[in-house]
Amino acid sequence: MARPIVAIVGRPNVGKSTVFNRIIGDRLAIVEDKPGITRDRIYGVGEWMGTSFSVIDTGGIEIDGQDQMLRSIRMQAELAIEEADAIVFMVDAKAGMTGSDTEVAQILYRAQKPVILAVNKVDNLKRQDDIYEFYSLGFGDPIGISGAHGIGIGDLLEAVAQKLPVKEDEEYGEDTIRVALIGRPNVGKSSLVNAILGEERVIVSDQAGTTRDAIDTPFEKDGQKFVLIDTAGMRKRGKVYETTEKYSVMRAMHAIERADVVLVVINGEEGIIEQDKHIAGYAHEAGKASIFVVNKWDIVDKDDKTMQQFTQKIRDHFLFMTYAPVVFVSAKTKQRLHKLLPVVVEVSEQHAMRVQTHLLNDVVSDAVAFNPPPTDKGKRLKINYATQVSVKPPTILLFVNDPELMHFSYERYLENRIRAAFRFEGTPIRLFTRKKSDDE
């Protein structure tokens, strides 16, 4: 089930990104800082009293061109209106109310979405009186906060949680594989969807998805039920949306949240660009099974080494996703298309696989015996016990004498040994450490 979406909007320099980082800060600590992952994020996950939600920082969206501040503000607000279930409208206590604030407010009036008004930079009691002028914006009681000092963030999150809708469970059963197609514009996502469905000709129904920007298409192949979640080309968009490629990330997040398997579609003719890394990185961080699908392979000039060389380019650019298989297809000619769904089924099974505890401990024990952990200031990591605590993605908890002694490189070594033993192809693995207590 997809999380509700909260967008932070406001004119430049009101502190949107600082508050964004405050909201998702605790979560960031468990996100892997692996080579190749782009750290330029506009999306994160927040939580308050058991309510989890996705957060979009519109301050992370940049507009090309000169002197387009008003256009930028308008675009960010419009993006948020379309994507979000609730909106945090941020203003600046120090600067006071500005014409740009009023401009954003006018856009939000028409949104008919819940709006929480946050007055940032209320760093002390003297500034508390500065929030009152913002009542005139017409969004109820302003909440005074300080992103820099963490003041009032709890009050803000409480207000956000109260405004969020309760999302209903989707209709599809556990035996249905949800497949999301993501990628930057013009890589051929819609063509790929049409090719898959056109080849099978077993569409059950076309229905609007529960998320506003995705269309779900259920179908069945060889007794296996699938749902394709397509994020491409559902609505005609004005030029305002075409001016930023980061918008594709915002759209993709809806599909990623709901998917079991994510197809990261790459344009084989154009090759890999930085935006592909942005989009793939979100699928990885969301813990989804993933497959790289290189489309338009029919128009690539190639010899017997081209496919191998392109695969190596993917491995070099996506160092954090070496587990994801690569499939070369052509949506236009349906070349190799028959190979795609079997790979989807395989990685879905690996993503949901649970390993017996005694087998997992045997592999970890052998790994430690073959390559013992290095010492750190005279202390050595000791792994007492390993158990898989969840699936989708496979998540393994290691009980150790001191979690601080688990070095990143040794964690990677253990992950590689576990993969070698149980495959886990196409899915990330999460490893966490916990100090073994006396009663465990």
Which residues are annotated binding-site positions for GTP?
Answer: 10-17, 57-61, 120-123, 183-190, 230-234, 295-298
What is the DSSP track for 375-420? EETTEE--EEEEEEEETTTTEEEEEES-GGG--HHHHHHHHHHHHH
Residue type, 24: I
- CA distance linking residue 400 with residue 414, whole number of Å: 14
**Helices 69-83 and 99-109, interaxial angle, to 10°?**
30
- CA distance linking residue 386 with residue 390, whole number of Å: 13
Is residue 144 within a helix (H) or strand (E), and if so which, with residue range?
A: strand 143-144
Residue type, 246: K
Q: Which tokens sit at 6?
A: 């909260």
- CA distance linking residue 304 with residue 120, whole number of Å: 59
Q: Taking Cα atoms as reference points, which of 347, 341, 354, 307 lies closest to residue 324?
A: 347
- CA distance linking residue 42 with residue 21, whole number of Å: 10
- CA distance linking residue 412 with residue 86, whole number of Å: 39
Q: Which tokens sit at 204?
A: 């059950």
Cβ pair 138, 109 in contact under 8 A: yes
Beta pairing, strands 224-230 & 176-182: parallel
What is the DSSP track for 261-296? EEEEEEETTT---HHHHHHHHHHHHTT-EEEEEEE-
Residue type, 30: I
Residue type, 137: L
Q: Which tokens sit at 138?
A: 């017409």
Cβ pair 190, 235 in contact under 8 A: no
- CA distance linking residue 381 with residue 375, whole number of Å: 7
Q: Which residues are annotated as a binding site?
A: 10-17, 57-61, 120-123, 183-190, 230-234, 295-298
